[in-house]
């Protein structure tokens, strides 16, 4: 079918399970809508019961669920049903691609990407794999060898792919949505969050569910923090209930809706080392204390954190040792303005604020060649 430049660019995206898979895909769609004269008509595919089922429709995008699940061990019923779920999910994905007349497919990783990527290959539609972590996830590793292009967040990732793939690797960074505003001043960020605008701030968070080990470490440190010359913004996650009295300089909230303000407010950030967090820290240029999630499926958080530490942009604390090491590391950084400045500049060097636009440009350029 002949398409004109004024028609919307039609794309299907597999993104789900976590915000780290969802929001980079959304960021790319936002830039495709700007870059393509006819806008962008996007369909997202994911699970039947995870966060994407709520987040994607709330953002105004079409959503198609699949019965695909992850591997849960040899004795789990879901594991015995997994081959059937894979085949059914591929059939649903192929039908969606045909119905939507997709010009491109984007997969951001996790098991949900596999059937959609397989469907794209079967239908002969250009496939773009976005790998936000240093090392490729299991689904992306299977799809990458036949993908039209693989987008990487780290230069160091190139070494993990064979020579035959090097010309299809594009180090463009991890796309981040426009809500992260690097132009906010610390004072503006603190005012927006109801904090003292003139006091240095430690921002602690562990994702939407929080980080239990980090929360326990902060709880243990509260008596010492009470006398600190800085304030703490502590995102606990929705499932954490602290049963202690907070010092006046510590603000605890289940969620931070305005992450741009929270990053701007911060002098030092304490966080997990998921790919999206690393990308956002690079854009705002904040020194970080990273506590990698030890149970990440391919150890990706530890590898992400290692790159940040090697570049001098952050320090890493093992999850098992965070209780005894978190407060000393916070105190060390908060007492050394020169070190913080050096780390902030190194973090900015990691940042790729135009990653979403670069990925959108790559997709449009390569699809134009594909359909010539």
Average pLDDT estimate for 263-290: 95
pLDDT of residue 370: 61
Q: Alpha carbon 320 to chain centroid distance?
A: 23
Q: Label residue 211 by pLDDT band (50, 70, 90).
A: confident
pLDDT over 90 (residue 131): yes
Task: Give the other-Cβ count within 10 Å of 349's Cβ.
Answer: 12
Q: pTM of the prediction?
A: 0.86
Q: SS3 for 268?
A: strand
pLDDT over 70 (residue 272): yes
Across 90-99, 209-218, 287-296, which has the greatest mean pLDDT?
A: 90-99
Pick 186-350's CATH classification: 3.20.20.80, 2.40.50.140, 3.40.50.2000, 3.40.50.10800. 3.40.50.2000
Pick 9-175+353-370's CATH classification: 1.10.287.110, 3.40.50.2000, 3.40.190.10, 1.10.10.10. 3.40.50.2000
Residue 324 in tokens? 């005894």
Task: Give the other-Cβ count within 10 Å of 339's Cβ.
Answer: 15
pLDDT of residue 17: 81
pLDDT over 60 (residue 94): yes
pLDDT over 70 (residue 71): no
Helix axes 300-310, 275-284, angle to 10 degrees: 20
Q: Which residue has the higher pLDDT, 21 or 228?
A: 228
Q: Label residue 182 by pLDDT band (50, 70, 90).
A: confident
- Distance between CA atoms of residues 347 and 124, nearest Å: 40
Specify the DSSP element, H or E, that contains 301: helix 300-310
Report domain extents, the chain: 9-175+353-370, 186-350
- Distance between CA atoms of residues 195 and 166, nearest Å: 48
Q: Closest by alpha carbon to 347, among 221, 235, 182, 237?
A: 182
Question: Do 278 and 304 contact (CB within 8 A), yes or no?
Answer: yes
Domains 9-175+353-370 and 186-350 share a fold: yes
């Amino acid at each position: 079918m002949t398409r004109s430049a004024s028609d919307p660019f039609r794309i299907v995206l597999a993104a789900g399970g976590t915000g780290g898979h969802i929001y980079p895909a959304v960021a790319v769609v936002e830039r495709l809508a700007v870059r393509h004269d006819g806008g962008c008509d996007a369909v997202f595919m994911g699970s039947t019961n995870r966060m994407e089922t709520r987040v994607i429709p709330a953002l105004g995008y079409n959503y198609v669920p699949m019965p695909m699940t992850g591997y849960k061990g040899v004795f789990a019923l879901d594991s015995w049903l997994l081959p059937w779920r894979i085949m059914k999910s591929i059939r649903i994905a192929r039908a969606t691609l045909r119905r939507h007349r997709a010009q491109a497919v984007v997969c951001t990783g996790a098991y949900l990407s596999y059937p959609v990527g397989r469907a794209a290959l079967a239908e002969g539609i250009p496939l773009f794999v976005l790998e936000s972590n240093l090392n490729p996830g299991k689904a992306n590793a299977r799809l990458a060898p036949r993908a039209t292009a693989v987008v990487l967040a780290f230069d160091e990732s190139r070494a993990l792919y064979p020579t035959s793939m090097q010309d299809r690797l594009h180090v463009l960074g991890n796309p981040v949505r426009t809500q992260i505003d690097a132009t906010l001043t610390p004072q503006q960020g603190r005012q927006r969050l109801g904090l003292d605008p003139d006091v240095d701030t430690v921002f602690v968070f562990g994702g939407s569910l929080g980080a239990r080990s980090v929360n326990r470490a902060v709880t243990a440190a509260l008596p010492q923090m009470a006398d600190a010359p800085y304030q703490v913004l502590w995102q606990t996650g929705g499932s954490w209930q602290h049963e202690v009295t907070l010092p006046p300089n510590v603000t605890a909230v289940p969620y931070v809706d305005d992450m741009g303000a929270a990053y701007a407010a911060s002098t030092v950030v304490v966080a997990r080392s998921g790919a999206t967090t690393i990308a956002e820290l690079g854009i705002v240029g904040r020194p970080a204390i990273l506590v990698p999630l030890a149970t990440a499926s391919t150890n990706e958080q530890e590898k992400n954190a290692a790159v940040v530490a090697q570049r001098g942009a952050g320090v890493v604390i093992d999850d098992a040792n965070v209780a005894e090491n978190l407060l000393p590391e916070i105190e060390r950084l908060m007492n050394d303005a020169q070190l913080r400045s050096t780390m902030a500049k190194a973090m900015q060097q990691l940042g790729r604020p135009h990653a979403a636009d670069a990925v959108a440009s790559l997709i449009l350029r390569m699809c134009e060649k594909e359909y010539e």
